[in-house]
């Protein structure tokens, strides 16, 4: 009787292990990468944060994109992106390709998890898209306000601007990564897979701008 119980226990453990292996083997399928309309519960989280009182883009124009990604320790994580419906399929394809190549992305969470505070989100190296806000230091709305811009690994790919010989970096904690001559994991440059994928989908890169360099930033103009 004791031997039978031990055998049953061993078989149960083997079944669980095989089931776990199978589930991991199946991850990365099309069911893990998709976009859908903003649910009531998600929209409630966004209200007063990324979706402010004066926001003019209709909720119906936004989508939530679900993805998988590898973090910098090689762990598989789930990611959630709020974006304009015009680029949701682009993001599905891009992030699936990044996942297949095990491209490292620290976090992919709505900026609402940081109370829509861009500096906090960037400092946490969080990849995000929609946030109704102005471009820092201006009164002009950012492309993020339309959900048409996304920032990838922003701590490691900061915005760098030099005026009158004085350099400013955003996020401030990203100053250690402002020198783009250094090699480090997660660095976006023209030979980088992330750069190539976004460019192939018609996005422009902030690292190509002349007035300043926004290495984290990709944006796309919506077609009328």
Instruction: Write out pLDDT tens, residues 36-57.
Output: 999 999 999 999 999 999 999 9
Distance, in Å, from the CA atom of 3 to the CA atom of 6, rounded to the nearest integer, reads 5
pLDDT in tens, 8-35: 444 444 444 444 333 444 566 778 999 9
Tokens representing residue 56 in the block: 């003019």
Phi, psi of 177 (to 5 degrees): -110, 10
Confidence of residue 222 (pLDDT cuts 50, 70, 90): confident
Q: What is the spatial distance between Cα 194 and Cα 200, in angstroms, rounded to a whole number?
A: 10
Has residue 124 got a pLDDT over 60? yes
Note the pLDDT of residue 23: 44
69 pLDDT more than 80: yes
DSSP 142: P
Q: Give the confidence band of 5 by pLDDT, cuts at 50, 70, 90.
A: low
Q: Can you state the percent helix, strand and coil of the chain, rounding each to 5?
A: 35, 25, 40
User: What percent of the chain is predicted at pLDDT more than 90?
Assistant: 79
The percentage of the chain sitting over the pLDDT mark of 70, rounded to a whole number, equals 87
Residue 92 tokens, joined:
């599905």
pLDDT the model gives residue 27:
66
Q: Is the Cβ–Cβ distance between 59 and 43 less than 8 Å? A: yes
For 4, 7, 60, 84, 197, the CA distances from 43, given in Å and listed in that order, are 54, 51, 11, 14, 29
Q: What pLDDT digit, counting tens, does each position of 163-208 carry?
A: 888 999 999 999 999 999 999 999 999 999 999 999 999 999 999 9
Q: Phi first, then psi: what are they for 156, rounded to 5°?
A: -85, -10
Instruction: Name which of 207, 100, 200, 115 is nearest 153 in CA terms.
Output: 207
Q: Answer for the pair 149, 57: CB distance below 8 angstroms, yes or no.
A: no
Q: Which helix (H) or strand (E) holds 177?
A: none
């Amino acid at each position: 009787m004791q031997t039978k119980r031990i055998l049953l226990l061993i078989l149960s453990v083997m079944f669980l292990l095989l089931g776990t292996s199978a589930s991991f083997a199946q991850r990365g399928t099309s069911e893990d990468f998709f976009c859908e309309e903003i649910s009531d519960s998600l929209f409630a989280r966004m209200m007063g944060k990324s979706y402010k009182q004066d926001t003019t883009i209709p909720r119906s124009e936004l989508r939530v994109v679900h993805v998988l990604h590898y973090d910098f320790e090689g762990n598989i994580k789930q990611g959630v992106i709020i974006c304009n419906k015009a680029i949701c399929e682009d993001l599905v394809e891009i992030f699936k390709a990044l996942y297949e190549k095990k491209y490292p992305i620290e976090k992919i969470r709505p900026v609402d998890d940081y109370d829509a505070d861009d500096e906090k989100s960037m400092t946490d190296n969080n990849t995000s898209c929609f946030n109704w806000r102005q471009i820092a230091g201006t009164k002009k709305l950012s492309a993020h306000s339309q959900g048409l811009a996304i920032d990838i690994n922003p701590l490691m790919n900061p915005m760098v601007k030099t005026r009158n010989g004085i350099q400013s970096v955003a996020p401030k904690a990203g100053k250690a990564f402002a020198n783009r001559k250094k090699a480090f994991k997660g660095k976006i440059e023209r030979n980088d897979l992330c750069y190539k994928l976004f460019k192939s989908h018609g996005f422009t890169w902030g690292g190509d701008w002349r007035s300043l360099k926004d290495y984290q930033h990709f944006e796309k103009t919506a077609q009328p």
